[in-house]
Structures are given as structure tokens and as C-alpha cells.
Amino acid sequence: MIATIARKEENLKLYPKAPLLSSDRTRWSGVHLEYHQQPPHQVPENALNQSQIIIHTQRLSSPLVEYMPPQSLQFEQTERGDITIIPAQVNNWAIWEKECHFILLQFYSTIFEQYAFEWTSGSDIELIPSFSRSDLLIFGIGWALKTELETNGLVGSLYVDSLTTTLVNHLLRHYSTQKKSSPLTSQGLSKRQLKQVIEYVDQHLDQNLTLATLAAIAHMSPSYFSTLFKHSIGLAPHQYVIHCRINRAKHLLLQGMSVAEVALNLGFSHQSHLSRHFKQLVGVTPKAFLKSQ
């Protein structure tokens, strides 16, 4: 809570307007998101304790001026999908002369220890400052996280964890000084590991399952687990959990449980979330499914 308040105060000092969206009230682990639409502005020189990724969601009609040592000043025509990476404790400032729309992602260096155990020591990882450049993967991750926030957690915590894992590994591969300590295996999870994870999911469909929890059952990092699980099952962990919940939902509906009760019993934050996922996977809404039986 103290860290959240400190971050809010720091961000309010940097920008004239509060963000239109913020992940402050979510249970996201490791990463914080804000969506901004800021008027012409000069961001004061700063060096935050968190690393930052600025993801531009529109083309700026006037040049963006950015400063980060040792590269000094950059004058750039920023396009939609361009990103700027500002590591923690790096002095920086920026100026734009037209309204600027962007997603702000912030995270502490401990995220590398949490999501990337198969890399060299997370405490030694250093991000490389990067001026505005196109990165469609980071843009896609930022946009997906923004959409998840706008839909009040439609897909859920596992989906956010999966996106965070992908982001961390991408940063480590392309924007850091570190290298992997060992290559990933393509064999998938062992039969025992897979059985334990599947049983746990089946027994906890009503709970807010996280990637870290499932990875701990298999005794590996979330990113490594996510890769091996998909290799074993053919689905990402969050996709598998949604499939399990919808299959269970069909049985509960046929037993006479209402749509609202089913949503509550299967960990959906809203009845509408259950209905949307149900229609995507089954092809019809829960009510239409019952009428067809």
C-alpha cells in the first residue's frame, strides 16, 4: 500500500492530468498500468525507483523530445506502437507540443526474480535505456493489459500473469545485459507434474488461480512453467483454466444452477464474463445452451 501511494504521488508530479485508467485496484502481480491522454507538456527531470515503459497509442503530429544519458537528446516523430524504456534510477525528461496518448507500464526489478528464474540472477539484471522505437510485441501486451483493465478482468489473473511473463522474457532477450543460464527444454512437463497441476486446477476452479501458484506446484518459474505447460497441453494455462470452467459450467447449469450462481462458483468476477466465455467456446449463451438440452 505504501509503495502504491508513493508511486501515485511520483506520477502526479510528472504529468498535469491523472490517468484515465489505472491498475491500482487490481490484484495484478509485478506490473502496474496507467493509460494517459496528456496535453502539451514538459516532463520534469526525474529518476524513479521503478522501471518504466512508455507505449505510444497514437502518432504524434509534432516531434517528441526525449533525454536519457548517455545518449543525450533525441528528436523523434513518434508513431503508434513506438515504445520508450526507462530503467529504474535513470535520469530522464521529455517534451511534447501536441496532446499525447500513451500506456505507462511500471515495475520493480524484483519482477525478473519472480518471473525468470531460468535466467541469470534477477538481482544482477540491468535494463538498457531505449528511445522511442517500434516494438509490436510490447505494444500488443500493453494494449491487451489495457483491454483487460477496461473489461474489469474479463480473462482473469492467469491471463495477466501470462502477459507479464511474456513481457519479462522479451525485455530480458532484447533490452537487457543478461543471457540465459540454460536453454529451455521442449519435452514439456513430466506426467507427475502435469497430473498435479491438472488436479489442483480441477479442485480450485472457484478461486483466483495465478500462474505463480501453478508454477510452484511444478517447482519452476512462471515463465518456464507456462512454456512447458503449453507444450504439454496445447493451451496456455489461462486458456486451459477457462476451458475447464466452461466445461464445469455446462454440468452445473444442467443440474439446475442459475447462471449467476455458476459464475460465482467458478471464479468469474461477473456473470457477463461467464456468458462471454461460454459463447466463445460453446457457440451459444448459457441460456440458449439450456434451451437446446
Query: Could you tell me if residue 120 is inside a domain?
Result: yes
Q: Specify if 76 maps to a domain.
A: yes
Q: How many domains does the chain have?
A: 2
State residue 122's pLDDT score.
46
Round to whole Å and give the CA distance between 80 and 60.
8
131 and 260 fall within a common domain: no
Output the DSSP codes for 216-280: HHTTS-HHHHHHHHHHHHSS-HHHHHHHHHHHHHHHHHHTT--HHHHHHHTT-SSHHHHHHHHHH
User: Would residue 110 count as lying in a domain?
Assistant: yes
Least confident of 31-35, 125-129, 185-189: 185-189
Structural domain contains residue 160: yes
Residues 240 and 152 in one domain: no
Torsion, CA 270, CA 165, CA 193, CA 244, rounded to 10: 20
How do residues 33-62 score in pLDDT, each as one tens digit? Answer: 999 999 999 999 999 999 999 999 999 888
Q: Tell me, yes or no, whether 180 lies in a domain.
A: no
Tell me, yes or no, whether 17 lies in a domain. Answer: yes
* Closest to 165 measured CA to CA, from 231, 219, 118: 118
* Claim to verify: residue 190 and residue 149 sit in the same structural domain: no
Cβ distance 138 to 170 under 8 Å? yes
Question: At CB < 8 A and 24+ separation, what contacts does 260-267 make?
Answer: 262/286, 265/206, 266/205, 266/206, 267/156, 267/205, 267/206, 267/207, 267/208, 267/209
What's the CA gap between 53 and 269, in Å, rounded?
29
CATH number of the domain to which 272 belongs: 1.10.10.60
Structural domain includes residue 61? yes
Last residue of a domain, one of 174, 209, 233: 174
Of 124, 145, 174, the position where a domain reaches its end is 174
Residues 285 and 223 in one domain: yes
One domain, residues 25 and 168: yes
Both 149 and 245 in one domain: the answer is: no
How many other CB atoms sit within 10 Å of the CB of residue 284?
12
275 and 246 both lie in a single domain = yes
Same domain for 94 and 230?
A: no
Supply the Cα-derived Rg of the chain in whole angstroms: 21
Nearest residue to 35 (alpha-carbon basis) of 23, 49, 51, 50: 23
What type of residue is 70? P
Does one domain contain both 214 and 150?
Answer: no
Last residue of a domain, one of 142, 174, 206: 174
CA 260 to mean position of chain CA atoms: 28
Cell output for 282: 460453446
Enclosing domain of residue 11: 2-174
Q: Give the pLDDT of residue 91.
A: 92
> What are the pLDDT digits (tens) for 230-266?
899 999 999 999 999 999 999 999 999 999 999 989 9
Instruction: Compare 70 and 185 and report the one with higher pLDDT.
Output: 70
Q: What is the structure's pLDDT at 200? A: 96
- Tell which residue, 142, 184, 40, has the closest CA to residue 99: 40
If asked whether residues 170 and 190 sit together in one domain, one would say: no
Q: Which residues are within 8 A (CB) of 88 and not within 5 positions of it... i.e. 6 or more apart?
A: 47, 48, 49, 50, 51, 108, 109, 127
Instruction: Look at residue 239 in the predicted model and tell me its pLDDT.
Output: 93
Q: Using 50, 70 and 90 to split pLDDT, how confident is the model at 180?
A: low
pLDDT computed for residue 27 by the predictor: 83
Instruction: Dig out the grid coordinates for 176 from the structure.
Output: 537487457
In the sheet with 64-68, reading across from the earlier edge strand, the strands are 41-46, 92-96, 64-68, 72-76
* One domain, residues 32 and 139: yes
> Has residue 2 got a pLDDT over 50?
no
Q: Which grid coordinates belong to 213? A: 501458484
CATH of residue 70: 2.60.120.10
Amino acid at 132: S
* Top-confidence residue, 75 or 16: 16
- Tell me if 112 is assigned to some domain: yes
Q: What is the pLDDT of residues 70-127, one digit of tens each?
A: 667 788 788 999 999 999 999 999 999 999 999 999 998 888 877 665 555 545 678 8
**Could you give the percent of the chain with pLDDT greater than 70?**
90
Tens-digit pLDDT profile for residues 202-220: 999 999 899 989 999 999 8
Looking at the fold, whether 143 and 41 belong to one and the same domain comes out as: yes
User: How many Cβ atoms sit within 10 Å of the Cβ of residue 290?
Assistant: 14
What are the C-alpha distances in Å from 194 to residues 26, 118, 180, 231? 29, 20, 25, 11
pTM of the predicted structure, to 2 decimals? 0.83
Cell triple for 53: 515503459
pLDDT reading at 137 higher than 90: yes
